[in-house]
Structure 1
Amino acid sequence: MEAKPFSTLSLKPELLQALDSLDFKLMTPIQAASLPPILEGRDVIGQARTGSGKTAAYGLGLLSRIDPLQTKTQALVLCPTRELADQISKEIRRLARCMPNVKLSVLSGGIAKRPQLASLEYDPHIVVGMAGRVLEHIELGTLKLDDLRVLVLDEADRMLDSDFEDVSRAIVDKTPRSRQTLFFSATFPDAVRGVSRKLQKQPEEISIDNEVSASTVEQTFFEVDSNRRMDALAHLLTQHRPESALVFCHTKKDAQEVESQLAARGYSVLGLHGNIEQRERDEVLVRFTNGSCRVLVATDVAARGLDIKELAAVISYELPEDADLHVHRVGRTGRAGRSGLALHLFTPRERSRLTEIEQRLGIKAQIGKIPMTALLPDRPVQPFAVTLCVDGGRSDKLRPGDLLGALTGDVGVIKEAVGKISTFDTRTYFAIDKKLAKHVLQRLRECKIKGKKFRVREID
C-alpha cells in the first residue's frame, strides 16, 4: 500500500500545522485505513501491532471532533495502565499543540486524587485515564460525561477482559448514546468482538500491519526440558548478549522467580509485575530504557502499554496459550524498520502451542538447538551505566537541559557520558557511565542547579 500524506484528509488546519511541525508527513497503514471512517464519525475497531501509530490515529480523530470553545468534557480515552495513560496524553498534547485552549486531564490510579480534583475543577476537553479512577470521579460527581462526543478504549482487549470489563461497561453506561466509540488494540479475541457488538454501532473493523515482519525480526524456537528452562534462558542471554531484552512470563510468581534466579547468576535484571508500587515501577522502566539494566522480566499484563522504542530482543520463557499474544510479544522488537530478535522456549508439552502459532502466522517455525553441554554457568554482560536520581522535577521547574548543563558545566563530564534523562513531577533520573558515577554523585551534591541544591542518590 502506497503511503498517503496527512494533507489528503479533511483535518483542521491547526492539526495539519501540528503534524507539519512534528515532521509527520505520511500516514502509517493503520492511520490511512482508520482515519477516514473516524473523521466521518463512524465507530471503528482498529487492530495493529505495537508501534504502528494507533494513538495518533484516534488522537487526530478525537481532536477533530472537539470544540475548544465549549468547556465540557468531549473526549475520553480509557486504558489499562498509568504508563500508557501518560504516553497517550503526551501524544495527544503534541497533536493539539497548535489548537489554543485545549485542556487535557490525566486520571490514573496509584497516585493522589487531590491534584486530579484540582484539574477537574474546570471541565477538561479531553480526559485520559484508567477505568477504575475515572469511574471514581464519575461517582463523586467531579467528572461529567453528558457532553461526551468520542469514547476510546485503547488496549481494548485488555479493557474488556474479565479484569476490567465491569468497570469499563459501567463507564460506558454513563455516556451519551450518540457518542462515537473507537476500539484500538494489537489483538482482538472473539469474546471482545462480542462485547463490541453491544457497545458500538456497526463498527468498521480494520486489521493492519499485525503480522511479524520476517525481514526485521529473527525468530527462533527452542525445545527444552522443563527442568532446564532457566539454564536455557541464561544461555540465550549470554550467547546473544542483547543490549536490552524483555523476558515474558505467564504469571507474577513466574516473573518473580525468573528475576530472582537471573539476579543470583549475576545478570543485570529487574522485574515488572503487579506486586510493585508505582514509584518502583517508574524506576524499573527508567533503568531499563536508559540502559543501566539490560534484562526486564515481565508478565504480559504488566508489559501492556510499555513504549520501548529500541528493544533489541524479546524472549518467551514459555509460549503463550494464545497465538495472538505471541504476535503481540514479538511485535515489541524490530520496530520502525530496525532489526529485532525473538527467542522462544517451549517444552514437549507445549508443542500444540507452537503448532497454533505456526498456523496463525502461516510459517514453518525455525527450531534451534541448545546443546546440553552449553547449559553451564557463563559470565553475563553488565551494563556500562548506572542510574542517579535528583529529587527535583517538573514541579521544581527542573528541565532535562538544566541538569545536562550542570553535569557538563560544574560537574565537568562530557555530554557523551550522560545517558537518557527522564523527568517526573518530583524526580529526575539520568544514566551515567559507571566509571564516573562516584565523582558525579559527589560533585552534583555540592553544586547548585538553577540556583538550588537538590538531594542526589544512586538507584539500585
Structure 2
Amino acid sequence: MNGRDLIACAQTGTGKTAAFGIPIAVSLLENRHGTALVLAPTRELAQQIDGFWKSLTQLSGGLHSACIIGGMSFSAQARMLSKKPPLVIATPGRLLDHLNQRTVNLSQTSILVLDEADRMLDMGFAPQLTRILKYLPQKRQTLLFAATWDTAVDGLSRKYLHMPERVAAGTISQAATAVVQKVLPTAGNKKNETLLDVINERRGSILIFARTKSRTDRLARYLNSYGLEAGRIHGGRTQGQRNSTLAAFKNGEMRILVATDIAARGIDVFNISHVINYDLPRMAEDYIHRIGRTGRAGLSGEALSLLTPEDRSQWNDISKLLKKTGSSIPVTCSLERGV
C-alpha cells in the first residue's frame, strides 16, 4: 500500500480479506508503532477476518489481534485490549461499548478498514460509524471494501476518504459468474414439500435462506423431522450457538444450514454446493450476496430460488438488477429438470 485511501469493489468470494490483510501485515511489520482497525458488519465476518489474520501472522511475532464483537465476554475483551494489540477487528456496536467505557484507545490508528461497507449501511450502522470515526486521528489511511455500490456508499466514501484510488474486480453488483442460477415456481402452501424434494434431488452441502428468525427455526425443525441434519443461524441465537453450528457446517458434520441474511456476507465456507432461497430477500442487492456463498474460490455452484405468485414483485426487482449489471438471468426449471 502506498498510503493513499482506497475504494475496492468486487464480487463476493474474490479474496477481499487477503487484499487488505496482507498489506496491513506488511505495514505493521515495517512500522511497529502503527495500529490498524477493521470494522465489519457481522460477528461472523469479524471472526472470519480474525481467523485469517491469525493464520497469516502465526510466524510473525507481535502481530496479535483482538476480535471485539457482541455476545462475548466484555471483560475478556477489555483484557485483550489492555495488551494494545496492533490490530483490532470489531463490529460497530461492541466497539462503541468499549469506547464509552474507555477500554480501547484508537488515537494512534494508522489504518482503518471498512469491510462490507455497503452491508454496514444496510444494517443501519451509519450513526455508529460517525461516532467511532471521531475517535480516530484525521491523518490515517482508510480502505473501503464493498460488494455493491449505491448512493449511500458513495456518500460514505466522500465523507471519510480523501482522494481515494478506486479498484473494481469485475462489474460492480454483478452476480458471481461461477454460480448457475435457477428459479423453481411453486405455491405458498407447498413450499415445504418443494424444498424437501429439492434437497433430496441434490448432493453436497446446502445453505438455505429464510426471511425471519421464526421461519428459520421452523424450517430447521421441519427438515430435522424428516431425518435431515439441519442447523440454524440467526440473530436470536447466542454467539456460542452460532459458532458451534457454523463449525459443524464447515466441517461437514452437518449438511444443511438454514439462515437469515446474517449469513449472506462474510461466511466463507469453502465447499457450499447449493444455495436455496426459500424466501426471496427484501432487497434485490441481497440476492447477489446470498448466491455468492457458493461458487467461491474458482469452484462452481448452484443457486435455486423458490418462487410463489406472491413473490413476483420482488423477483422483478431482482431480474432488473441482474440485467442492469450484465449478470446471468436465472433459468426456470422443474423438479425433474432442476437437478
Residue segments in structure 2 that go unaligned for 5+ positions in a row: none
1:202 aligned residue (153, 163, 169): 163
Q: Is the 8 A contact 2:12 2:176 kept in 1?
A: no
Q: CA deviation at 1:57?
A: 0.9
Shift of 1:370: 4.0
Quote the residue 1:101 is aligned against.
62
Shift, 1:189, TM fit: 3.5
- C-alpha change, 1:322 and 1:205, in structure 2 (3 Å) is farther
Does the aligned pair in 2 maintain the 1:314–1:329 contact within 8 Å?
yes
2:330 alignment partner, one of 365, 372, 382: 365
Deviations 1:177-205 (A, max 9, x none): 11211121323343222222212223333
- Which amino acid letter does the alignment assign opposite residue 314 of structure 1? V
Which deviations, in whole Å up to 9, do the C-alpha atoms of 1:117-165 show, x marking residues without a partner?
2222232221112222222222222211111111111121222234322
The 5 Å alignment of 1:94-173 reads 94-97=55-58, 99-173=60-134
Q: CA offsets, 1:337-390, max 9 Å, x none?
A: 22212111112232343333333333443111248xx9xxxxxxxxxxxxxxxx
Do structure 1's residue 310 and structure 2's residue 275 form an aligned pair?
no
For 2:214, give the aligned amino acid.
K
C-alpha separation between the residues in 2 aligned to 1:252 and 1:283? Answer: 18
Structure 2 equivalent of residue 339 of structure 1: 300
1:271 and 1:162 map into 2 onto residues whose CA distance is: 21
Distance in 2 of aligned mates of 1:94 and 1:269: 29
Gaps of 5+ in 1: 1-38, 375-460
Tell me the alpha carbon deviations over residues 199-227 of structure 1, each in whole angstroms, 9 at most, x when there is no partner: 2223333332464455x332210111222
Matched, 1:349 2:310: yes
Equivalence map 1:13-32=2 (5 Å)? none
Indicate the residue corresponding to 1:13 in structure 2: none
Secondary structure (helix, strand or coil) at the match of 2:137 reads: coil
Partner of 2:43: 82
Partner residue, 2:14: 52
* Counterpart AA for 1:369: S
Number of the residue aligned with 1:21: none
Say if 2:267 and 2:293, in contact at 8 Å, map to a contact too. no
| Matched position secondary structure for 1:75 | strand
Question: The residue matched to 1:342 in structure 2 has which SS?
Answer: strand
Which structure is richer in relative contact order (CA contacts within 8 A, separation 6 or more)? 2
Give the counterpart letter for 1:345 in structure 2. L
- Secondary structure of 2:272 counterpart: coil
CA displacement at 1:40 relative to structure 2: 2.2
**Distance in structure 2 (CA, Å) of the matches to 1:165 and 1:291:** 37
After TM superposition, give the deviation of residue 69 of structure 1 in Å: 6.0
Assess, with a 3 A threshold, how the Cα gap between structure 1 residues 365 and 100 changes in structure 2: closer, same or farther. Answer: closer
Contact 1:68 1:125 survives alignment (8 Å): no
Residue identity in the other structure for 2:332: I
- 2:181–2:329: 8 Å Cα contact kept in structure 1? no
Cα distance in 1 between the residues matched to 2:247 and 2:226: 23
For the aligned residue pairs, the C-alpha RMSD in angstroms reads: 2.4
Matched, 1:328 2:293: no
1:183 aligns to 2:144 (yes or no): yes
1:258 to 184, 199, 219: 219
C-alpha separation in 2, matches of 1:228 and 1:296: 20
8 Å CA contact 2:264–2:286 kept in 1: the answer is: no
CA deviation map 1:421-447 (0-9, x unaligned): xxxxxxxxxxxxxxxxxxxxxxxxxxx
SS of the residue corresponding to residue 281 of structure 2 reads coil
CA shift in 2, pair 1:116/1:347, >3 Å: same
**TM-score for the superposition, normalised by structure 1:** 0.66
Question: In structure 2, which of residues 178, 181, 193 is the aligned counterpart of residue 219 of structure 1?
Answer: 181
Counterpart CA distance in 2 for 1:56 and 1:364 is 30
Q: What SS does the aligned partner of 1:345 have?
A: strand
* Superposition TM-score, scaled by structure 2 size: 0.88
Match of 1:296 in 2: 257
CA displacement, residues 224-264 of structure 1 (integer Å, 9 cap, x when unaligned)? 12221222111111122x32100011222221222222223
Query: Per-residue CA shift, 1:307-350, capped at 9, x if unaligned?
Result: 21000100001222333221211111122222212111112232
1:426 alignment partner in structure 2: none
- Aligned partners of 1:305 and 1:121: how far apart in 2? 28
- 1:287-325 Cα shifts (integer Å, max 9, x gaps): 212222211110112443212100010000122233322
Whichever of the two has the greater Rg, that structure is: 1
* SS of alignment partner, residue 200 of structure 2: helix
